[in-house]
Amino acid sequence: MLVRDQSLSEQVNVVAIHDKELLKANSFRIERFELCTLCGARFGIGHFGATREDTRPEEEIEELPRKLIEILAKDHRHQRQHKGFIDLDF
């Protein structure tokens, strides 16, 4: 999923950022938060730079937590640490 930022004329990827990394993320716009159902790690789901008017319809936003939860569960199945930055645009 991509968002078109009209003012910058560039595409913005939808990402999830681990709560601990959010302070380092400049101009990150959070659309919602999601928790890992296995370990409780908190992630902000959103994008860099795009304004609220340029975001996707609610139906597309509802898919993002499901995608993130699948990625986080896979991390646990493979016994690996969660990444601090997860690209949800796949």
Give the predicted TM-score (pTM) of the model. Answer: 0.76
What is the mean pLDDT, run by run of 10 residues, along the chain of 90 residues?
40 84 85 94 86 60 89 97 90
pLDDT at 70: 96
- The pLDDT, as a whole number, for residue 27 is 82
Which tokens in the block code for residue 88?
A: 């949800």
C-alpha 68 chain-centroid distance: 7
Per domain, the residue ranges of the chain are 2-87
Q: For the chain, how many helices (H) and strands (E)?
A: 1, 5
Q: Rounded to an integer, what distance in angstroms lies between the CA atom of residue 62 and that of residue 55?
A: 12
